[in-house]
Amino acid sequence: QVQLVESGGGVVQPGRSLRLSCAASGFPFSTHGVHWVRQAPGKGLEWVAVISSDGNKKYYADSVKGRFTISRDDSRNTLYLQMHSLGAEDTAVYYCARDGRAGPGLLYLFDYWGQGTLVTVSS
């Protein structure tokens, strides 16, 4: 079965960096785009970033553009999110989610989700 397992969250000081990972299994990782979606405590869901199945297309929400970088390593079946210049507004549970379209292109539909990893930005 499809599994996505996030790691790398924790408490980080404002202005610092953090890298999140998402280990995928149960499907051919290289055939799907993969997203990061976050949820601030007690709030709704916010899409953060996506990388296409071939890794050539990367798109970001305006709120993180220029600070966050999404990448993937298909040899390790792993998705990453490198986060810089973190602020209190980045405090959230970060989920990785599989795009619902196999192959080229992105559907921006999230058909499988990991359990999330909590990032807390605090001094």
Task: Assess 116 for contact with another protein (CB under 8 A).
Answer: yes
Q: Is the CB of 17 or the CB of 109 nearer to another protein?
A: 109
Question: Under DSSP, is residue 29 helix (H, G, I), strand (E, B) or coil?
Answer: helix
Task: Assess 100 for contact with another protein (CB under 8 A).
Answer: yes
Which residues inside 52-71 make contact with another protein, applying CB under 8 A? 59, 61-62
Q: Which structure tokens are listed for 24?
A: 């995928």
Query: Which of 117, 86, 76 lies closest to 14, judged by CA?
Result: 86
Task: Assess 47 for contact with another protein (CB under 8 A).
Answer: yes
Distance set, CA 96 to CA 13, 44, 60, 85 (Å):
23, 15, 14, 21
- Contacts with another protein by CB under 8 A lie at 35, 37, 44-47, 50, 59, 61-62, 95, 100, 107-116
